Every structure is written in structure tokens, then in C-alpha cells.
């Protein structure tokens, strides 16, 4: 087990370097003149240009520049945005909002996905099963760019149940509607997976054994069926957590939530290289860590899985 974790951590280092390198290359290789971009429309004198070129190592080869960046990253220095704000500050503002949003979305997705999936799996072919099937197809088919404004219009503007935008300091209540929108696709896939898994396990021999023991129907489902059905679903939850944090760009944009997604969007629009690379680097780490945790959790859930 310890050997496995060490191997996975080493793989994570390689993946991290590879991923940041690609993003770094894409952001910086494409820049025409970063000093002019920094200055905006104003002219830049030769003296200033020379100082800045040395300060930012712009004459060094690309790989050396990447090396400087990585050194800063590893010592906790994300650098500054083009507007001069420390990226570390931007992150400490943005991350809590995104984490709240993602966890809330995951909570709703898990609650509705597993709950409805369980009922649909136990009552295959029922009206409930068919309705959820149709609904999940609609939700999966609608891109979030369509779903988010519709939800905002219907529940925020017309019905007035939720605030239309979250604002600079979003309250938990203000995040509910964005979280539902963000988690809609996850809810649908989780529902389908839970349904399929439950439908298969409910016919398993060990469920028949559990019934033969004279256990209550509730216990048979809650302990024997659900426990085994959760193994693939947990994997999905882990993968989704990363996607929810990274994929909040549109949702955060529509509901005006100052989180990672909106900062990332801003960074791309203003060609703010350090900002984009900094956020993406952290996202890569989030992905890698959640995936490792899911794989380890997998072994806890299914004792047949052993990591050597």
C-alpha cells in the first residue's frame, strides 16, 4: 500500500511538470510583446524595456524561463498579474468561493443522483424510472451555457426564489442555484450510473442470500445493495469534483461569482499569462490529488482490490 502511494506520488510529480509545462508554453509562446501588453496603450521607453526584460528574464531561453517560474511556484510564489496584484492574493479570494460552489454542487448531485438512481434502479420500468430517464437525457443534452441563463431567468428573475447573481461575497443561499446548474450534468450521470449499478446488484446472489437470512427489505437494500452499488459511483464523484472546480467557468460567469472560473476567464481574455498558468497549476494538483484519493477509497470500499 505504501509502495503504491509513493509510486502514485512520483507519477503525480511527472504529470504536474508535464501539464504546467504545456500550459506555460501555450500562454507564453503565443505572446507578441508582453512588455507592451503590460504597459497597455502607452509607449515604453528603451530603458524601461531593458529593465523589464531583465527583471522578467525575457531574453533567456524558454526552458530557463519555465525553470524560473517553477522555482517560484514551488516556494509558494505565484508571481504577479499583469496589473501588479500578487496572484497568491487573487487565489485566496477566488478559491474559497469555488470550493464552496463545487462542494455544494457535488452535494446536490450526490443527493439527487444517488437518491433518484436508487429508486429508479429498484423500480425498473416504472413511471418514475422512465421520467428520470427522459429528464437526464434533456439535462445531459443541454449545454451549461444554455442551462445556466434559463435557470437564472426562470428561478431568479421570473419566480424570484433565488438571487439572480451571487455578488462579490456570495452567501451560501446565493450559491444554491448556481450549484444546482453546475451539478446538473453530474446529477444526471450519477443517477444513470446508480440506477444501472443498483439494477444489477439487486439481482445478485448475495442479495438473495441476505433476503434468505430474513433481513428486513430496508436493510437488504441499504446495506447489501447500496454498499456494492456505490463502488463505481464513488469513482465518478471523485472525477466530478475536479471537473466541477475547473468547469465552473460558465456558471461563475453567468451568476457573477468571483471564483476560480471567472478569474481564469478574465486571465484568458486579457492574455494574463501568469494568472492563467498559476490557476491551472493548482487545478492540476486538485485533479491529481482527488484521483489518488478516489483510487485509495476504492480499495477501502472493495476489499478485493489490493494495491501492490
Phi, psi of 80 (to 5 degrees): -120, 155
Which of 173, 219, 222, 293 touches other proteins by CB under 8 A? 219
Q: Which DSSP letter does residue 86 get? A: B
Q: Does 208 contact other proteins by CB under 8 A?
A: yes
Q: Which stretch binds other proteins (CB under 8 A): 60-68, 114-122, 214-222, 280-288?
A: 214-222
Site for other proteins contains 215 (CB under 8 A) = yes
Member of 3, 158, 169, 213 binding other proteins (CB under 8 A): 213
Report the site for other proteins in 61-80 (rule: CB under 8 A): none
User: Is residue 278 packed enough to be buried (19+ CB in 10 Å), middle (13-18) or exposed (0-12)?
Assistant: buried
125 belongs to the binding site for other proteins (CB under 8 A) = no
Please report whether residue 205 would count as binding other proteins according to CB under 8 A: yes
Closer residue to other proteins, CB minimum distance, 6 or 305: 305
Q: Is 205 exposed, middle or buried (0-12, 13-18, 19+ CB in 10 A)?
A: exposed
Choose one: 7-15, 40-48, 71-79, 224-232; the region binding other proteins (CB under 8 A): 224-232
- Measured from the CB atom, the residue of 231 and 292 that comes closer to other proteins is 231
Would you give the DSSP letter of residue 59? T
298: Cβ–Cβ under 8 A, 6 or more apart, which residues?
A: 231, 234, 235, 305
Part in contact with other proteins (CB under 8 A); list of ranges 184-192, 223-231, 242-250, 276-284: 223-231
> What gap in Å lies between CA 165 and CA 177, rounded to an integer?
9
Of the candidate residues 171, 216, 222, 293, the single one contacting other proteins (CB under 8 A): 216
Coil, helix or strand for 14?
A: helix
Give the position of cell 444501472. 196
Dist CA 67 CA 105 (whole Å): 37
Binding site residues, other proteins, CB under 8 A: 203-206, 208-216, 219, 224, 227-228, 231, 301-304
Amino acid at each position: 500500500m505504501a509502495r503504491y502511494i509513493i509510486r502514485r506520488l512520483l507519477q503525480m510529480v511527472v504529470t504536474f511538470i508535464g501539464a504546467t509545462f504545456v500550459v506555460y508554453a501555450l500562454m507564453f509562446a503565443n505572446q507578441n510583446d508582453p512588455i507592451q501588453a503590460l504597459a497597455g496603450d502607452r509607449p515604453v521607453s528603451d530603458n524601461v524595456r531593458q529593465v523589464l526584460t531583465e527583471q522578467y528574464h525575457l531574453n533567456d531561453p524558454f526552458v530557463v524561463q519555465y525553470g524560473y517560474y517553477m522555482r517560484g511556484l514551488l516556494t509558494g510564489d505565484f508571481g504577479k498579474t499583469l496589473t501588479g496584484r500578487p496572484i497568491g492574493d487573487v487565489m485566496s479570494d477566488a478559491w474559497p468561493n469555488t470550493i464552496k460552489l463545487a462542494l455544494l454542487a457535488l452535494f446536490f448531485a450526490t443527493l439527487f443522483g444517488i437518491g433518484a438512481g436508487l429508486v429508479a434502479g429498484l423500480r425498473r420500468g416504472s413511471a418514475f424510472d422512465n421520467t428520470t430517464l427522459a429528464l437526464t437525457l434533456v439535462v445531459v443534452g443541454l449545454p451549461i451555457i444554455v442551462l445556466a441563463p434559463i435557470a437564472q431567468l426562470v428561478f431568479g428573475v421570473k419566480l424570484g426564489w433565488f438571487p439572480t447573481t451571487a455578488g462579490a461575497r456570495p452567501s451560501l443561499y446565493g450559491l444554491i442555484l448556481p450549484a444546482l446548474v453546475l451539478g446538473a450534468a453530474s446529477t444526471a450521470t450519477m443517477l444513470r450510473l446508480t440506477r444501472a449499478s443498483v439494477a444489477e446488484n439487486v439481482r445478485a446472489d448475495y442479495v438473495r442470500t441476505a433476503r434468505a437470512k430474513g433481513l428486513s427489505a430496508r436493510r437488504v437494500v441499504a446495506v447489501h445493495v447500496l454498499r456494492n452499488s456505490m463502488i463505481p459511483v464513488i469513482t465518478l464523484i471523485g472525477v466530478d469534483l475536479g471537473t466541477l472546480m475547473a468547469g465552473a467557468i460558465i456558471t461563475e460567469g453567468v451568476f457573477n461569482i468571483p471564483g476560480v472560473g471567472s478569474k481564469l476567464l478574465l486571465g484568458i481574455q486579457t492574455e494574463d499569462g501568469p494568472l492563467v498558468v498559476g490557476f491551472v497549476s493548482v487545478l492540476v494538483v486538485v485533479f491529481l490529488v482527488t484521483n489518488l484519493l478516489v483510487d485509495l477509497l476504492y480499495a477501502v470500499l472493495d476489499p478485493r482490490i489490493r494495491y501492490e
